[in-house]
Structure formats: C-alpha cells, structure tokens
Amino acid sequence: MVTSELPIAVFDSGVGGLTVLHECLVSLPHEDFVYLGDTARFPYGDRSADELRRFALELAGRLVDDGAKALVVACNSATAAAAPALREEFGTRLPVVTVVGPESRLAAGATTGGRVGLLATPATVASGAYERALAEHAPDAELFAVPCHALAPLIQAGGEVDERVVASVEDACAPLRENGVDTVILGCTHYPLVRPVIQRALGRGVEVITSGQAIADEVGEALAEAGIEREERRRGEYRFMCSGDAESFRAVGTRFLQLPLGEVRHVEVEAATAGSGR
C-alpha cells in the first residue's frame, strides 16, 4: 500500500539522474528519496530497446518492492524504451514520472520559430520518443535530432571538462547551428553538467531545455493529486544505491548532486555487463 511516509524512488543508468534528483531535493525538501544508479550496465545509450525495457522493469521492480510512493525514471534512454511498459506494470499502484514529456512541453512553449534541436544518446534518438512527444505539444514544430555516442560516457567518468568534452559538444552542436534551431533539448540527464559548454557552442540566442525542474514540478503535482505528500515543515532524507562500485559512484555523484552523498549501498543486478558501445 502506498502511503505518504514512503520515499520517492528515482533510477538512472548512472549518475546523470542526480541532476534530476538535485532539483527534486531543492523543490521538495520535505520528501524522502532513494536513488538507484545502474552503473554496472552503463552506458545505456547504445543498447537495444528490449534490453532497456528489461533493465528498467528490473530496477523499478526492486525499488517498488522495497517501498516507494512514486517512481521517477531519470533516464532518457530508459524512458524512450520502457515508459509504456513501466506505466502498465506500476502505474495503477503509484505515480510514474518520466523525462521526455516534460522536456518536450517546455520546448514547445519556448520555441519561437518551430525549429527544435535534440542532443541525446543513440538509443533515445532511434526510439523517436521526442518526435512523438513534441508533435503532441507543437504539431508544426520540426525536430533536428543528433545522436551523441561519446558525451555521456565522458561526463560519467567524472573528470574535468577537457578538450575531449569540448570537441564532442562542438561536433554535436554543429548540425543544430546549421539548421538554425532556436531551442535545444538536452535529452540526457548527464548533459546539464556541461551546459555552459553546450550553450557556448550553440550561441546565446538558443534556448536550452533540461528536465530537472520540470520533473520536480511534475512529481510535486502527482503527490498532491494522490494526497501522499509529507508535511512541509519536516526535512527529508535521501539515500543511494548503485550496481557498480559504490566508492566510485559516491566520488563522481557528489559533483552531479552538488550535495554530500554519504554512504552508497551496492546492489546486484542481472546481466551486469558493460554497455555494447560508446
């Protein structure tokens, strides 16, 4: 049974979803959160849709079975491949909030010329999820999608922003500039960590859309609608799990979350193999 005392569960392929969690912690400081990063199977961006659905259902099932009052899918690749399956499996039991939809709504409202760019992993681009979502909110808009193979792994590594990151961003943004986009969706939760580099590559006149605040707003609305919010006068807690090395997750994750992580618990997952490509 879902009760207000349960935490909000968040999962991602790695540490990128911590950019979403950060906004949730700021907007909903009275709520408890549990975060699961599937670092053993990162990156998700080059995996098949069937694999991603299986991973997403496994992670969501673990979190829901442990006790959660809402599920946040803070991974664009998992959302693109598994959102319908997740809602079918869990949506009657608790609110399921995903990326893609909120970002597309923001982009539809922000674009001035109907030319919207998308930077995302190959799996997310191939899914067509953003084309469908944007068409729902802005039928006349045109989407220019660029698959970024290397950017998420470079950011996940947790090093300084170096020439490799800059080169990867410049390569990805070049076709967007050529097509004259006025709005760009960052379709991977890792990308906000290098937003200044992306903004510089696109130019000051291009609106950059990220998912964090939109997701936090949607989570708050879902909790209110279900009547399962915590009292605002309390201070919530948050905890972390990962399927890979816990210490590496903690070290890199602190940069993404911009808050102390504390202890990170290791959990086992099925078929914990490295991603099929970069």
Q: What is the mean pLDDT of residues 166-190?
A: 96
Task: With CA atoms as reference, report the closest residue to 8 among 18, 16, 17, 28.
Answer: 28
pLDDT exceeds 80 at position 96 = yes
Q: 101-211 has which CATH code? A: 3.40.50.1860
Contact 260, 250 (CB under 8 A): no
Q: What is the mean pLDDT of residues 153-163?
A: 85
Which residue type does 155 have?
I
80: Cβ contacts below 8 Å, ≥ 6 apart: 49, 52, 100, 123, 124, 127, 129, 130
Which position among 148, 173, 188, 242 bears the catalytic label?
188
Q: What is the mean pLDDT of residues 147-156?
A: 92
pLDDT exceeds 70 at position 276 = no
Our answer to whether residue 242 is catalytic in this structure is no
Kindly state the percentage of the chain with pLDDT values over 90.
86
Q: What is the mean pLDDT of residues 143-163?
A: 90
183-235 residue pLDDT tens: 999 999 999 989 999 999 999 999 999 988 889 999 999 999 999 999 999 99
Domain with CATH 3.40.50.1860 in the chain: 8-98+213-266, 101-211
Mean of per-residue pLDDT scores for the chain: 93
Contact 75, 45 (CB under 8 A): no
Which position among 24, 75, 148, 173 bears the catalytic label?
75
pLDDT at 60: 98
Region for residue 259 given its phi and psi (left: phi exceeds 0; alpha: psi -120 to 50; beta: otherwise) = beta
pLDDT at 132: 96
Q: Which CATH class is domain 8-98+213-266?
A: alpha beta
Q: Is the pTM of this model over 0.85?
A: yes
Our answer to whether residue 24 is catalytic in this structure is no
pLDDT at 213: 82
158 CB burial (10 A radius; 0-12, 13-18, 19+): middle
